[in-house]
């Protein structure tokens, strides 16, 4: 048995060792329906509708089971699958295929599901790519009903195995996790996939992005993985197993220490306070953020309320949703970002013509300007909800000062309307912008003459500064958070905000990465917003460093010409002050 190690993308922390179990998740639906036969339209249409109803009942039961065991956030995964079943556009396409005649219900279902799966799977946006698995999961559930297959029969019956698959769909994974599978390794997936979320909720170590893993394992092999580093070993030797045992013991002690201090302020060794906030998508995330020790919400991504709804949410629905989050987070502040839609994210009711380059097209604030009715409704809702606690309003992807002025004018219009209508609201909500476009970064001093604060969205800023699509694996070296041009851009923004006496935060993934934390604090950033699970870790890193030393390092980094040189410099320092961070962040 040949031994080897491969590195993938860490998605759920922890160490697992077990025998290989090859899971068939991600099967091509079309191959399963090749030999099905068609009856008349009415018969096939009734079969399809019956399968959808039965699948919905199964999912409803699953929602309640998951809610009781894990909570609302995880239950929402399967609630979103019920929404897919009820999607009128999907149903319409399947009916049209059947009406042409000579096609079975199974083939109509497989055709439409595979089409939407491919569309989402090729999306630029990571969140939408991750939703492709949900589409396939719903399709597989309905198809199993049509074929009279027992889905559970395909699930492992043995414990203490590591599931290895091309991709694991959420419901199949849930079955595996319930049977105490030790870990999960997949070829395809992402940190934002629902499968990854379930692994983290159950505390199951998982690694994805392990290229062609199915071709490299056999039944009977032993496989080990470290879900914190992304390392995967097939047939590991005693030396590797001993090392993994040592890591497991060390991390257990470390997590206990981080958890014991998560609600304390993050102070550097030279007593500089760094505020650590959380990025959230839905109300349920707010409770998780408070429990993790977040000092506020630095980014409330409101577009997910639209993406998961059958119709555009009205003003009252939005007021209720925003108020719930604000009250949960109070007395700490909640920063609410207006719709960051467009590109590949477009809910029903906001459709626009397909664009050749959507990420340089009609998206975010640009789309909001094209739909002033939707834009103003959201602004009114935020202003009304803000009466419940400290709130900030933030616009995404602002490019020009004129855009910022225009957006602020709409805020003022909304305030006047609410006053005339005698509706309670907060007229003093601070209004800021995301710095994601180089043009906005270059004009930061003029922007700060209009805005009350800024938040640097590094995910988009890096790809626009470097002209490198962050979803393209061939450009991974160019999409570099520590590239000199990126650091200089961030420094320019921080200096401009400081000169104007305005607050500036960072809310992209860079703020959650250990080397990113070191560089950002050295560049003068004093407020970070990260995923809730990263809050205790980021606070721990901050307590390990000296702000004065990070400032000196940042000055040195800005004199270097290579992102690789900068990364090595910061990595060497991290190994001196917080070597544990590399394993858990």
Q: Record the tokens describing residue 201, joined without a space.
A: 């909720």
Q: Which of 194, 275, 287, 425 is labelled catalytic?
A: 194
Question: Of 23, 497, 507, 547, which is the active-site residue?
Answer: 507
The HSE-up count of residue 426 (CA atoms within 13 Å, CB side) is 19
Alpha helices in 344-429 (DSSP H): 365-370, 372-385, 401-420
Q: CA 152 from chain center: how many Å?
A: 29
The whole-angstrom separation of Cα 133 and Cα 230 is 21
CA distances from 475 to 29, 361, 466, 472, 509 (A): 32, 21, 10, 6, 17
Instruction: Answer yes or no: 263 catalytic.
Output: no
Cβ neighbours for 337, distance < 8 A, ≥ 6 positions apart: 299, 300, 301, 302, 394, 395, 396, 434
- CA dihedral of 203, 584, 479, 353, whole degrees rounded to 10: 30
Helices (H), 261-400: 283-292, 303-307, 315-329, 365-370, 372-385
CA-CA-CA-CA torsion for 377, 379, 381, 382, nearest 10 degrees?
Answer: 160
Is 507 assigned a catalytic role?
yes
How many whole angstroms separate alpha carbon 469 and alpha carbon 464?
A: 8
Answer yes or no: are the C-beta atoms of 83 and 63 closer than 8 Å. no
Distances in whole angstroms, Cα of residue 482 to Cα of each of 191, 443, 492, 520, 583: 21, 22, 15, 10, 20
Rounded to 5 degrees, what are φ and ψ at 93? -65, -40
Per-residue b or e along 345-383, where b marks 16 or more CB atoms closer than 10 Å to that residue's CB:
bbbeebeeeeeeebbeebbbbebbeebeebbbbbbbbbb
Rounded Cα distance, 177 and 16, in Å: 13
DSSP string, 198-211: HHHHHT--EEE--T
Active site residues: 194, 507
């Amino acid at each position: 048995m040949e031994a080897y190690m491969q590195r993938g993308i860490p998605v759920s922390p922890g160490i697992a060792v077990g025998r290989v179990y090859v899971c068939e998740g991600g099967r091509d639906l079309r191959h399963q329906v090749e030999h099905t036969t068609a009856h008349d339209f009415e018969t096939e249409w009734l079969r399809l509708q019956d399968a959808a109803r039965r699948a919905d009942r199964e999912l409803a039961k699953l929602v309640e089971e998951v809610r009781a065991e894990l909570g609302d956030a995880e239950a929402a995964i399967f609630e979103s699958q019920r929404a897919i079943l009820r999607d009128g556009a999907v149903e319409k396409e399947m009916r049209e295929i059947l009406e042409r005649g000579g096609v079975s219900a199974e083939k109509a279902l497989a055709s439409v599901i595979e089409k939407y799966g491919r569309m989402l799977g090729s999306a630029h946006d990571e969140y939408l790519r991750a939703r492709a698995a949900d589409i396939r999961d719903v399709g597989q559930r309905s198809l199993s009903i049509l074929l009279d297959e027992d889905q559970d029969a395909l699930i492992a019956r043995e414990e203490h195995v590591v599931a290895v698959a091309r991709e694991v769909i959420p419901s199949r994974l849930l079955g595996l996790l319930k049977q105490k599978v030790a870990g999960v390794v997949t070829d395809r997936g992402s940190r934002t996939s629902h499968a990854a979320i379930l692994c983290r909720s159950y505390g199951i170590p998982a690694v994805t992005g392990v290229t062609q893993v199915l071709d490299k394992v056999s039944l009977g092999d032993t496989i080990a993985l470290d879900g914190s580093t992304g390392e995967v070993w097939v047939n590991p030797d005693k030396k590797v197993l001993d090392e993994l045992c040592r890591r497991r013991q060390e991390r257990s002690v470390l997590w206990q220490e981080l958890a014991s201090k998560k609600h304390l302020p993050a102070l550097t060794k030279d007593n500089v306070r760094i505020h650590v906030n959380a990025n959230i998508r839905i109300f349920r995330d707010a409770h998780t953020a408070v429990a993790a020790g977040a000092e506020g919400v630095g980014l409330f991504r409101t577009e997910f309320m639209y993406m998961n709804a059958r119709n555009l949410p009205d003003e009252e629905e939005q007021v209720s949703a925003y108020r719930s989050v604000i009250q949960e987070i109070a007395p700490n502040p909640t920063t609410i970002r207006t719709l960051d839609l467009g590109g590949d994210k477009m809910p029903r009711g906001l459709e626009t013509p397909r664009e050749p380059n959507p990420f340089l097209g009609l998206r975010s604030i640009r789309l909001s300007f094209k739909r002033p009715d939707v834009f103003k409704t959201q602004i009114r809702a935020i202003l009304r909800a803000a009466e419940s606690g400290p709130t900030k309003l933030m616009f995404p992807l602002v490019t020009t000062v004129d855009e910022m002025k225009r957006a602020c004018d709409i805020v003022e219009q909304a305030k006047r309307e609410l006053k005339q209508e005698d509706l309670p609201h907060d007229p003093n909500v601070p209004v800021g912008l995301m710095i994601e476009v180089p043009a906005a970064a270059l004009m930061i001093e003029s922007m700060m003459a209009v805005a009350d604060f800024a938040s640097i969205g590094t995910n988009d800023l890096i790809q626009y500064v470097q002209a490198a699509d962050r979803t393209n694996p061939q450009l991974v070296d160019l999409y570099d958070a520590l590239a000199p041009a990126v650091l200089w851009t961030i420094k320019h923004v921080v200096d401009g905000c400081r000169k104007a006496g305005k607050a500036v935060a960072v809310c992209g993934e860079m703020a959650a990465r250990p080397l990113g934390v070191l560089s950002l604090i050295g560049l003068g950033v004093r407020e970070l917003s990260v995923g809730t699970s990263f809050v205790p870790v980021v606070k721990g890193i901050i307590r390990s460093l000296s702000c004065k030393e990070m400032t000196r390092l940042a000055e040195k980094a800005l004199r270097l010409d290579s992102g690789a040189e900068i990364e090595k410099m910061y990595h060497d320092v991290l190994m001196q002050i917080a070597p544990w961070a590399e394993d858990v962040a």
